């Protein structure tokens, strides 16, 4: 087993991971609130009803409810755009939650190590280059506060006035 010094995941990576996962969860919660609103329900019972759904299930349920709703087209388009932006970040969130990580090609970068799904072949392992690029350490001159801000900006901004 490798010692802590040879393990490529640093405290800074863990800091990034610990910011990304709860911020993604916050956006999933916004989807639950929107679902509750479209069902004319409250968040508590709706959250219980969708508790077994992952991100994709909640996103699909919300999109279906929007199609059945009387929301103005512009509002529906804004919500779809928000959900599409969030979808582009789901792979990284899932990799953080479910993969072991190894060193990347660039200094200070890491990438997930996992089996490629859906017929890619048994024993084939790899990582998305896009995912790998997103978990590269910032320049040492950058402050942790500005780095944290950039991690938070990793997710789309929620703008209720656009709804």
pLDDT band at 157 (very low <50, low <70, confident <90, very high): low
CA nearest neighbour of 126 among 137, 135, 117, 136 = 117
pLDDT band at 90 (very low <50, low <70, confident <90, very high): confident
- Residue 6 is assigned to a structural domain of this protein: no
Domains in the chain: how many in total? 1
Please give the residue range of the domain that contains residue 39.
11-157
- Residue 4 is assigned to a structural domain of this protein: no
- Residue 79 is assigned to a structural domain of this protein: yes
Distance CA 104, CA 58 (A): 32
pLDDT band at 113 (very low <50, low <70, confident <90, very high): confident
99 in Cβ contact with 111 (< 8 Å) = no
pLDDT band at 163 (very low <50, low <70, confident <90, very high): very low
- Residue 95 is assigned to a structural domain of this protein: yes
Q: 153: number of CA atoms within 13 Å, CB side?
A: 6
- Residue 108 is assigned to a structural domain of this protein: yes
Count the neighbouring beta carbons within 10 Å of the beta carbon of residue 59: 19
Average pLDDT over residues 144-153: 49
- Residue 125 is assigned to a structural domain of this protein: yes
According to the model, what pLDDT value does residue 2 have?
52
Element (H, E) at 100: strand 100-103
Which of the pair, 38 or 23, is modelled with greater confidence? 38
According to the model, what pLDDT value does residue 116 have?
59
Which of the pair, 14 or 57, is modelled with greater confidence? 57
Average pLDDT over residues 78-105: 86
Distance CA 55, CA 48 (A): 15
Q: Is the dihedral of CA 28, 34, 37, 38 positive or negative?
A: negative
According to the model, what pLDDT value does residue 67 have?
95
pLDDT band at 45 (very low <50, low <70, confident <90, very high): very high
According to the model, what pLDDT value does residue 119 have?
55
Distance CA 33, CA 44 (A): 9
């Amino acid at each position: 087993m490798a010692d802590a010094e040879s393990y490529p995941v640093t405290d800074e990576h863990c800091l990034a991971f610990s910011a990304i996962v709860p911020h993604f969860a916050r956006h999933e919660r916004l989807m639950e609130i929107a679902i509750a609103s479209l069902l004319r329900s409250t968040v508590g019972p709706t959250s219980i009803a969708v508790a077994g759904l992952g991100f994709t299930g909640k996103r699909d349920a919300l999109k279906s409810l929007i199609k059945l709703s009387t929301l103005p087209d512009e509002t529906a388009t804004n919500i779809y755009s928000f959900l599409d932006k969030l979808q582009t970040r789901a792979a990284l969130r899932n990799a953080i939650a479910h993969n072991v990580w190894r060193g990347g090609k660039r200094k200070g970068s890491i990438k997930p190590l996992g089996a490629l799904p859906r017929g890619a072949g048994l024993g084939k392992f790899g990582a998305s280059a896009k995912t790998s690029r997103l978990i590269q350490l910032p320049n040492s001159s950058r402050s942790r506060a500005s780095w944290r801000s950039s991690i938070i900006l990793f997710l789309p901004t929620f703008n209720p006035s656009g709804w």
